Amino acid sequence: MVNHAQSLTSGPAGRLARKLIAGNWKMNGSLAANEALVSALLSDLSREAAACEVAVCTPMPYLAQVAGMLGKHGAAITLGAQDVSAHAQGAYTGETSAAMLCDLGVSLVLVGHSERRQYHGETDAIVAAKAQAALQSGLRPIICLGETLEEREANHTHAVVERQLGVVLQALGAAAAGLIVAYEPIWAIGTGRTATPEQAQAVHASLRAQIYAASSVSAKPATLLYGGSMNAANAADLLSQADIDGGLIGGASLKATDFLTIIRAAGRAGAATLLAGASST
Ligand code: PEP
């Protein structure tokens, strides 16, 4: 297990103050529902501009629709996808390449979400190959990882996430600089059961230390998101943790008011980090 104590200070490139809040719509939405949701987000976000980076990861068929809506509003919301092929092109029926996502204006992509690992057999090696394919096309991958309930109860959490991240760091080498990682305990996804801020912080600190220990990637700070039943009520506590740089939000990202409450909490937490940094220099 990586030494937690070194995590907050050992990164030479310092900490990120601007949080990232990404919505994972999963297999939800329709043309009409997306129109209503994105319009509601855009009308409120123009007032909150730049407080934190906001992204929505939509189902593939709706990327063009949402890209069209976002196009008229500058960069208030970053467009994300939920998966990418490890292959560049060819006979891979049903797959979507990184270049195709770029064509549609996508800039972020989830890689290795636990539902893809569980239902589609994605191994650590496949996740690493997808992350590589994304980066080669200029997409920012969000590497998702996390332990099952049995693994947590057996005290294997740190070993599991360290293994999952280690395979990706090894494959990416220097390209892992500035990596985005989402720690999503599987037992917390869609269950309403959230990791406590202390549980999440402990894993994030360990992941950050592991990234900094991979010396080739220390030039640019990593962004570490927490995911797993984050909602309007618990977001502020989670996002105020020292090593939580944002959130990956499933269910609560489908309701504009809830998602906006989380975004505001992230903005406040980011501002507090900035203030703390200014007063300590
Ligand atoms: C997710 O699917 O990434 C997720 C965090 O879902 P939820 O917020 O619904 O637990």
- The model's pLDDT over 10-55, given as tens digits with 9 standing for 90+, comes to 333 445 668 999 999 999 999 999 999 999 999 988 655 567 999 9
Residue 275 confidence (pLDDT) = 66
Residue 218 tokens, joined: 């220390």
Q: Give the ligand 1 atom nearest the CA of 110.
A: 3
Residue 2 confidence (pLDDT) = 46
Strand, helix or coil for residue 51: coil
Strand, helix or coil for residue 142: strand
Distance, in Å, from the CA atom of 41 to the CA atom of 35, rounded to the nearest integer, reads: 10
Q: Is the pTM of this model over 0.85?
A: yes
Q: Ligand 1 pocket: which of 25, 118, 248, 259 to mutate (most atoms <8 Å of CB)? A: 248
Sole residue written with tokens 């280690």: 166
Closest CA to 113 of 92, 100, 99, 127: 127
| Ligand 1 centroid, distance to 164 Cα (angstroms) | 19
pLDDT over 90 at 148, yes or no: yes
| Ligand 1 centroid, distance to 144 Cα (angstroms) | 11
